[in-house]
Structure 1
Amino acid sequence: MRPTRPRSNDYYRDPVLNMKMRNMAGRIPYYPTKWEVLKRITRLYTPRPGDRVVELGSGDARVIRYLARSFDDITATGVEINPVLVSESRKRVERERLEGRVEIVMGDLFSHPLDCYDVVYAYLTPNALLRLRDRLAALLLRGGRVVTLDYRVPGLEPVDREEVHTPGRRHVLYLYTSESVPLSLRPSGKLLVRRPGNLGPPL
């Protein structure tokens, strides 16, 4: 299914949410992912039917809302610790009638379980990605995929990348698969190979 371009006023700066964030936390900036970056995500990552996607640090959930609207055979979860963003995300999910396919969880992304997902998307700092690295590697070895924006996961080698140029900014999307995981992060140094279709236990 071809992705549908979202309404522009939903995918650029949101003055209302900006104000709420400033009132809550002083100087926390709010930078929505731009349309140019969103559409490149689906060029780099091709959803499979039934994919369960999670975004760690989902903000206003624009990435997973976009994916859910564009591909009606996937489900998505956003994990966000900021109550303002959680509230706004849930309102937008309801407004776009994505209940049942998009869930917003208020919680800590470092403790949220990843073993029930097929795809992880994250726009996080290198330090945060380093803390998540071993869990992301385990997901990749189960046949999952990881997409990060602007920052690479330390110790993992991307299998593909996509550059996105927006006014005044260059972004890079990185894709990781089981091939990204070095021997040092594999159980007993073994290579795990998934069955065709990503179903069933490792061979």
Structure 2
Amino acid sequence: MARRDDAIGRDRLVKGRIGALARFLVALILGGGVSFLLFWLGKRFSVIAIPIPILVLTQGFAAALFSRLFALEWWWSAIQLLLPIFVFGISAFPLPGWIFPLIIVVWVLVFWNSVFGRVPLFLTNATTAKALAQYIAPYRDARVLDAGHGFAGVLLALSKHRPDVHFVGCETAPFPFIVSWVRLHMIFRRPNVELRYRNFWDVNFRDFDVVYAFLSPTPMRALHEKANEEMRPGSILISNSFAVEGVTPDETFCVDDRRKTRLLIWRM
């Protein structure tokens, strides 16, 4: 039954990803339509043509507004707003034609999970990593999972001070994973860190004493259900900033950093 529930949960997430991407593209097209309408009205009824920067800003703001109307998370609106400004900015330089497809490919490789997983690339700061260390402290010879390790900052920070702990990171965004691999194997060389190019949904949490995640509001309920079903008694799930709707954490720790980060802890 648990496997069937996990499969249903993953299926819902996949459908949500496809739906989010489709809404993003529709919002992008509608934003372009608003910008073109403004251009047409200006050309038809005004003696002075509307400046291109105004049209670019109109495209961005309109697409961002449509993204919010379509119930997309805030980072989709941020992408809609910045994308036309970025394209317009670099078009002012005499760049070769292949540079634009290359930029799109690099962007997708970096923000892969934002596009396909509804999880933006959030990076844990050093102050929060120090706070995490205190929750790992009671565990000796433990196994810790970073569910979506990004550029492996947390894994490298914690592994330096806890050589007795085995750290595992999962990541599916290609570029962050490659950078993490280079940092781990060619620069820092931490033998107690293991990187997996794998979706953490396919990893059994039973193998870990601590699971840490800095994701987004969207997958938090499914993540908590997975942890509750698979993790052993005495193990903990730690979420950076994002709560589980309707489920009160056993502990909330406020980090003394600039963004006032909250660590939400559930004990199994």
CA offsets, 1:136-188, max 9 Å, x none? 11244532111110012334432222112433x2210112112xxxxxxxxxx
Determine if the alignment matches structure 1 residue 97 to structure 2 residue 180: no
> Structure 1 residues 85-94 or 73-82, which shifts more?
85-94
Alignment-mate amino acid for residue 106 of structure 1: Y
Q: 1:115 aligns with which of 187, 194, 206?
A: 206
The match for 2:107 is 24
| Contact preservation (8 Å) 1:44, 1:162 | no
| Contact preservation (8 Å) 2:147, 2:212 | yes
CA offsets, 1:101-145, max 9 Å, x none? 111111122222222111100001122111222211124453211
Q: 1:71 aligns with which of 157, 162, 169?
A: 162
Distance 1:57 1:113 in 2: 14
Alignment of 1:181-192 (within 5 A): none
Distance 1:27 1:119 in 2: 26
| Contact preservation (8 Å) 1:121, 1:146 | yes
Alignment-mate amino acid for residue 236 of structure 2: R
Determine if the alignment matches structure 1 residue 174 to structure 2 residue 264: yes
Distance 2:172 2:121 in 1: 15
* Structure 1 or 2: more strand by fraction: 1
Alignment-mate amino acid for residue 196 of structure 2: V
Alignment-mate amino acid for residue 219 of structure 2: A
Distance 1:43 1:143, change over 3 A: closer
SS of the counterpart of 1:93? helix
Q: 1:52 aligns with which of 134, 143, 157?
A: 143
Alignment-mate amino acid for residue 262 of structure 2: V
* Structure with greater contact order relative to length (CA < 8 Å, sep ≥ 6): 1
Number of positions where the alignment pairs a residue of Structure 1 with one of Structure 2: 158
Larger Rg: 2
The match for 2:244 is 153
Distance 1:105 1:47, change over 3 A: farther
What is the percent sequence identity of the aligned residues? 22
Q: Please, which runs of 5 or more residues in structure 1 have no aligned partner?
A: 1-19, 179-203
SS of the counterpart of 1:176? strand
Distance 1:30 1:153, change over 3 A: closer
Q: TM-score, normalised to structure 1's length?
A: 0.68
Distance 1:140 1:157 in 2: 18
CA offsets, 1:58-96, max 9 Å, x none? 101111221111111100110000111111111111221
* Structure 1 or 2: more helix by fraction: 2
SS of the counterpart of 1:69? helix
- What value does the CA root-mean-square deviation take over the aligned residues? 2.6
Alignment-mate amino acid for residue 265 of structure 2: L
Distance 1:149 1:21, change over 3 A: farther
Q: Please, which runs of 5 or more residues in structure 2 have no aligned partner?
A: 1-102, 112-119
